[in-house]
Amino acid sequence: MKIKKILCSVATIALFATLITGCGGSNSSSPTTKTPTPTVTPTEDKTTTEDSGEGSKDITGITFESKKFDYDGNEHQITITGQLPEGTSVSYSSNVSGITNKATNVGKYEIKATISGSGYKTLELTAILQIVSNDKERNIVATNSGVFFENAMDNDKVYFYDGLNVKKVSNSSTLDMIKIGNNQVAYSSDLLEQVGMGSFGTYTVSSGNINKDNFINKAASYIQKNGTKYYFAVNSLKNAAIYSYDTETEELTKLSDGKAYYLQLDSAYNEIYFADGANGNKLSKISLSSPSERTVVVDAKINNLIMHNGCLFYTVNNLLGDYIEKLTLLSNVRLKITQDAGASLTVFGDDLYYVNVDKLTTRIVGDGIFKVSTKTVKESSAPGTKVIDGGDYGVCSLATDGTFLYYYDIDNYKLIKYNVSTKQSINILDGFVKPADPTPTSFGGKVLTYGDTVFYQDIYDNKALHSYNVKTKVEQCVTDLKVADFSIIGDYLFINMVSKAVDNNTYVIDIKNGGEPQLINNYSASDMCTDGTYIYYILDNASGVATAIHKCKLDGTEDVEIYNKGVSNLKYTNGKLLFVDENNIHVLDLTTNIDSEVEVAGKSIHTTVFDTDGTYIYYRDMYGIGYTSKRLAKCKLDGTDDVKLVDNGKTDPVSIVYKDGYVYYYCDTTKPAQNGLFKVSASGTSSTDGTSILPCNQTYYAETFSFLGNNIYFLNYALGGSFGDSKIYVVPATGGTPELMIK
């Protein structure tokens, strides 16, 4: 049966733009449940001193700051900052027995730091360590083989419980999930919902394995299914509508414009009921025979809509207090069946179970699970019957498989499996430890930046495109599917996305102003660049081999071949395309369509990689017998003014980036001690040694890197993941100790 997901709010394009530019909020949410126990009413950052004798000195320069953490099952701590005087030490204590300055469970802890030592006055500092739970509603769907669920202990990634063990299914969270077969669920990945982009497909359990299939790239929510057709809503700002998708014909059809929530399909009458976001969330419907027309069914704002046995059950939003109502469709009779406001409405047997959200400030977390009869025929303003107490922190995300209830106990994220008959329960996540992902093998990835955001192919997520805002600390999955290549040009993000293993499609997203991803073409495009009118790209075949250079308009029209050979390292500058063809640098003049090879002193340049500032080309100069010798060189686009910038016999610049008057390059020779990230002045007129930014030391492999502010972000990766940990690090552009970007 369908397990619904209640969204806290409708994300907008403006939110996406805010995340990109760093003006958004934190990804840590303040708790909306009851105040946890134990608690105190502390005075934060309190400072007291105690005289320890004649001639005692004050301890200065020490601070102790309060911090808040999201609960994740890991231990968190707060410590003092500053240099302790010689002969002094610090000890920690708290208002909770057994806690010093470290804690794991949800709560607010007053921590005291006591600093003392001979000849000094004792200094006491007080701060708050707070661990909070995130009250997001999480999808839970039971099949005959087990339960799919979003794991709150691992950033809401999809997991599967087979009755004995819990294992990870995906590195993405979901926007919606429903059961569509005994061993199958349909899902929509929670990607760029703000712009209507997601991954809509299925998870199928087969012989203990879970297979994933993707249909289309849509942020499908409130999914319904009938035969080969799926019905769902897309609630992006610029493209909100109800859609249908036929898996047999692969036809996607827009049925009705406007936002819509809690879709329920009445297949007997070919109607879809929903909360109409375009009309104050009033209970409305469309007929599949004329879907563009929306009809109001109940002139009231509603939420948490479900259908059962020809009746609709939903929560009415009322100024005097929300309540649950039943609408019998055949007779059109409305009945208030309880005074309670309910979330996660779920039918079990003849009863409607729900999370009672009356007593708490959130509309998702409630103080317990209650029930009322679905067969009631009389209006009632009485409360429902409490089945499960919510404890101090509350419960949410109720679901059922017809035998058990499943829900989250917010107290340290217990995922409860409750037997309705025996009233016994177990915590599915008891003893859960977030698994450390093994370093995967791949062919590397790309790192690019825009505003305050780092975009990167996540090797741990099958090279799906992820983003991380360095100011807000928000990580976001941009695509659920593998990305073969991507580019950022001005305010536009171009994505070459892989679907069904071999099919590639190229999309563009306006990352400044938002909007739905636009399909440019059904080709595999790499090294995308633009002159503002046309997109230029390398066309790859099904095997990933470059075959030609194409150009097309920004909307994908007028696609033509302009160079009939496979190339690499395509770049645009000043009306010209630069690229490597058979290890030689070429310049294609887009005005005259004349292609010329760059030669230095009448000889071809042998190279694999270069960058340009529009005047000079900075390239990996491969020379000597078998081209086994390498150095960093530069020349003008016409081959003149050639300079060997770094020619010291111990340099092989396998990646090169020009930035603000410097040439940055990653050196990768057969001698690890010589390798690392370097820079050299682009204005050099003779050979010099590069300045080391980050030595390799057989630890950091920064071949793929990008700039953001005064920092360099790089993918720590080499030789198929055999070296490095394939994670993103940041290091100052002036050099220093790297730090892991996402800890």
Tokens of 552: 């097309």
| CA–CA distance, 495 with 517 (Å, rounded to integer) | 9
| CA–CA distance, 702 with 724 (Å, rounded to integer) | 9
Please name which of 23, 35, 3 lies closest in space to residue 223, comparing C-alpha atoms: 3
| CA–CA distance, 717 with 444 (Å, rounded to integer) | 7
Looking at residue 464, its pLDDT comes to 85
| CA–CA distance, 685 with 688 (Å, rounded to integer) | 9
The topology (CATH level 3) of 175-400 is Neuraminidase (2.120.10)
In the chain, the amino acid numbered 206 is S
Please name which of 124, 102, 104 lies closest in space to residue 42, comparing C-alpha atoms: 124
| CA–CA distance, 173 with 181 (Å, rounded to integer) | 21
Percent helix, strand, coil in the chain (nearest 5)? 5, 55, 45
- Residue 300 Cα to chain centre, angstroms: 35
| CA–CA distance, 248 with 268 (Å, rounded to integer) | 21
| CA–CA distance, 325 with 379 (Å, rounded to integer) | 9
- Residues of each domain in the chain carrying CATH 2.60.40.10: 34-132
| CA–CA distance, 391 with 409 (Å, rounded to integer) | 8
3-state secondary structure of 242: strand
Looking at residue 88, its pLDDT comes to 85
CB 712 within 8 A of CB 706: yes
In the chain (743 residues long), the average pLDDT of successive 10-residue segments reads 32 34 35 33 46 66 86 78 80 89 84 91 92 78 94 90 92 89 87 59 90 82 94 84 93 94 95 96 96 95 95 92 95 96 95 87 80 95 94 90 93 91 94 78 86 91 86 76 89 82 76 70 90 92 87 90 95 96 96 95 95 97 94 96 95 96 95 93 94 93 95 89 87 94 85
Residue 66: count of CB within 10 angstroms of its CB: 16
In the chain, the amino acid numbered 664 is Y
Please name which of 443, 442, 331 lies closest in space to residue 377, comparing C-alpha atoms: 331
Please, what CATH class does the domain formed by 34-132 belong to? mainly beta
Q: Cβ neighbours of residue 550 under 8 Å, at least 6 residues apart?
A: 523, 525, 536, 537, 538, 539, 559, 560, 561, 562
CA distances from 365 to 6, 371, 411 (A): 11, 16, 11
Q: Cβ neighbours of residue 169 under 8 Å, at least 6 residues apart?
A: 148, 157, 158, 159, 160, 203, 210, 212
Question: Which single residue is written with the structure tokens 């090279």?
Answer: 463
| CA–CA distance, 715 with 407 (Å, rounded to integer) | 38
Task: For residue 428, report the phi and psi dihedrals to the nearest 5 degrees.
Answer: -60, -30
Residues facing residue 634 across a β-bridge:
618, 643
Tokens of 681: 């002045």
Looking at residue 688, its pLDDT comes to 93
Task: For residue 626, report the phi and psi dihedrals to the nearest 5 degrees.
Answer: 70, 15
Looking at residue 71, its pLDDT comes to 67
- Peptide bond preceding 31: is omega within 30 degrees of 0, i.e. cis? no
Query: What CATH number is given for 531-740 in this structure?
Result: 2.120.10.30
Q: Rounded to 5 degrees, what angle do the CA atoms 529, 487, 620 make?
A: 75
- Residues of each domain in the chain carrying CATH 2.120.10.30: 175-400, 531-740
- Residue 287 Cα to chain centre, angstroms: 36
pTM: 0.60
Tokens of 465: 């495109």
Tokens of 83: 């240099």
Looking at residue 385, its pLDDT comes to 96
Please name which of 200, 715, 724, 156 lies closest in space to residue 458, comparing C-alpha atoms: 715
Tokens of 607: 């190279």
| CA–CA distance, 315 with 261 (Å, rounded to integer) | 13
Looking at residue 72, its pLDDT comes to 63
- Residue 453 carries which DSSP code? E
Residue 481: count of CB within 10 angstroms of its CB: 23
Alpha helices in 449-558 (DSSP H): none
Residues facing residue 265 across a β-bridge:
272
Tokens of 462: 């099958």
Task: For residue 727, report the phi and psi dihedrals to the nearest 5 degrees.
Answer: -115, 165
| CA–CA distance, 9 with 56 (Å, rounded to integer) | 57
3-state secondary structure of 497: strand
